[in-house]
């Protein structure tokens, strides 16, 4: 009724806010339209505060299963669970409003069958509100990608170095150094694209192979250790910020937060031991307003 514009109930207002938030985000069609155009800026995110920092500058935030190593101290990504991915996915969604948020399907949660992949993907999207999932394109996974996309679930593929196959490959090794490896990566990329993937992470391959993959597929490629030939780039944020003593060869350090944090903690420890913290500025007093 006219004149009653403020009569919406709280649930109705919340619903409207949610719809407005969704409309602000990078959409799947907008992502696909970047093929061959302006480079896609992508980074990993695992927490709400980090998502807030990254969101204004990124097109895609990936809640990668790398969180098992970066946040939880696991030796590989193999031990990551669905529950871990959901928990961190919820945090990233709370901290972002602009970037498209994609979440990895963890090892063992999608490889058995398309139906298993759908159960996992639908649960993750329903419980987080994210827009897409990512899968490593092992043999047979293209069938699952087609199954998911045919049922309304956007999927990002992942070819080249596949972290979930670390045990089979004997470590994190670059792909495409032999002709057989090149053909396998190309075949996986073409199958992933044909199955309807909205984008494709290309990891740890030679520059010429990255160029060939990017030219061979219709969806945008997102490189990590795959040269600037791809349609965009992604890094593990904590690697790029210099939080660890070691980082892969393909990482460029844009900060030294490890050093900054160590210096800050050393200063705090010195002040505590000297009795100079807390001081008057950090203490509450009777009659004070704050």
φ and ψ at 41, to 5 degrees?
-105, 120
User: Is residue 39 marked as binding?
Assistant: no
Report the predicted TM-score, pTM, of the whole model to 2 decimal places: 0.88
- The CA distance from 166 to 56, in Å, is 33
Question: Comparing C-alpha atoms, which of 175, 171, 167, 213 is closest to residue 193?
Answer: 213
User: Is residue 66 marked as binding?
Assistant: yes
pLDDT tens string 174-213: 666 678 889 999 999 999 999 999 999 999 999 999 999 9
Across the chain, mean pLDDT equals 90
Instruction: Average the pLDDT over 239-251 and give the result.
Output: 94
DSSP 3-state helix, strand, coil percentages of the chain (rounded to 5)? 45, 15, 40
User: Is residue 263 marked as binding?
Assistant: no
User: Is residue 83 marked as binding?
Assistant: no
Cα atoms in the Cβ-side hemisphere of radius 13 Å centred on 147: 18
Annotated catalytic, 203?
A: yes
Which among 188, 203, 212, 238 is annotated as catalytic? 203
In 59-161, which residue ranges form alpha helices assigned H by DSSP? 67-70, 82-94, 114-128, 141-149
Confidence of residue 19 (pLDDT cuts 50, 70, 90): very low
- The CA distance from 16 to 18, in Å, is 5
CA terminus-to-terminus distance, the chain: 45
User: Is residue 104 marked as binding?
Assistant: yes
Instruction: Average the pLDDT over 9-17 and give the result.
Output: 49
> For residue 73, what pLDDT is reported?
97
How do beta strands 221-224 and 199-203 pair? parallel
pLDDT tens string 85-102: 999 999 999 999 999 999
> For residue 225, what pLDDT is reported?
95
């Amino acid at each position: 009724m006219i004149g009653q514009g403020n009569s919406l109930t709280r649930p109705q207002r919340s619903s409207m806010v949610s719809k407005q938030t969704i409309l602000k985000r990078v959409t799947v069609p907008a992502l696909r339209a970047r093929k061959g155009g302006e480079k896609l800026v992508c980074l990993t995110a695992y927490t709400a505060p980090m998502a807030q920092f990254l969101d204004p500058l990124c097109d895609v935030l990936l809640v990668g299963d790398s969180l098992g190593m970066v946040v939880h101290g696991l030796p590989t990504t193999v031990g990551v669970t669905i529950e871990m991915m959901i928990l961190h996915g919820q945090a990233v969604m709370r901290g972002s409003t602009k970037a498209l948020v994609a979440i990895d399907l963890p090892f063992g949660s999608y490889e058995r069958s398309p139906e298993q992949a759908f159960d996992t993907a639908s649960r993750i999207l329903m419980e987080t509100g994210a827009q897409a999932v990512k899968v490593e394109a092992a043999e047979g996974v293209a069938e699952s990608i087609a199954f998911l996309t045919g049922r309304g679930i956007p999927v990002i593929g992942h070819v080249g170095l596949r972290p979930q196959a670390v045990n089979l490959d004997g470590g994190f090794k670059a792909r495409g150094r032999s002709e057989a490896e090149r053909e396998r990566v190309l075949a996986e990329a073409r199958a992933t694209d044909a199955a309807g993937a909205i984008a494709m992470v290309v990891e740890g391959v030679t520059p010429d192979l990255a160029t060939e993959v990017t030219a061979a597929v219709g969806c945008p490629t997102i490189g990590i250790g795959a040269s600037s030939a791809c349609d965009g780039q992604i890094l593990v944020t904590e690697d790029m910020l210099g939080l660890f003593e070691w980082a892969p060869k393909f990482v460029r350090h844009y900060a030294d937060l490890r050093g900054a944090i160590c210096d800050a903690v050393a200063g705090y420890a010195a002040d505590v031991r000297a009795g100079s913290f807390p001081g008057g500025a950090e203490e509450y007093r009777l009659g004070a307003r704050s």
